[in-house]
Amino acid sequence: MPISELLIVPYKYERPLPDFQEGDDIKFPDALVRALLEKYTKTGDKVFDPFTGLGTTFFVCEEMGRVPYGIEADDKRYQWVAERVQSKQHLYHGDSADMGTFDLPQMNFSITSPPYMPNWHDWNPLYGGEPAYNGYDRYLKRLQEIYKGVCKIMQPEATIILQADNLTNEKFSPLVWDIGKALSEVMTLEGEILVTWSENHENKSQFTQCLVFRNRKK
């Protein structure tokens, strides 16, 4: 059944930010992860975040009795999260495109906010900006490749959620739509959850989107 929902949550990061984090513009607040875990998981479920970032999925999973797993490419973020979570043995430092080399079990649910790339930029965050891999098309292709790997470690019919924004800071880049189209070739797109914040925030978009996918039967 198609999914189209509105979710209202606080826009707040619930622990001190690391010194290397510039500003407090966190795309992925705790309350959003908490609400989606309540909806799609139960105690003891294994939850995978292929772009762990500052560890929001890990922190909220541990609080709620879920078992987090994740991968983070950035060394500073990896070290910062690993020093603060109980399940640091489930956090891997590396490229999510190489997840087949990590010892990952079958997962019940996946949630993440991937690195963003506007369609007018060349710098590809999924290759660390390597010039040989510049371009938006390569970014979307890489995301496809990563999610082919994600699907292999997910249970059949498992829910897989990506949170993203269409980008409007210089001109319009339909990132959410493009991710939805690209990943629909890998998973079944069931719909979206529109998320808005329970209080206003200066210089912050009033909403974000969560694309809801279903892993295909193996």
Break the chain into its structural domains and give their ranges. Answer: 3-214
CATH topology of domain 3-214: Rossmann fold (3.40.50)
pTM of the model: 0.94
- pLDDT bracket for residue 199 (50, 70, 90): confident
Residue 96 has pLDDT above 70, yes or no: yes
Mean pLDDT within 58-74:
97
> Taking the CB of residue 98, how many other CB atoms lie within 10 A of it?
13
Neighbour count for residue 136 (Cβ, 10 Å): 17
Q: How confident is the model over 60-81, as a mean pLDDT?
A: 97
Distances (CA, A) of 135 to 57, 88, 116, 117: 29, 34, 13, 9
Give dist(CA 215, CA 195) in Å, integer.
22
pLDDT at 63 over 70: yes
pLDDT band at 24 (very low <50, low <70, confident <90, very high): low
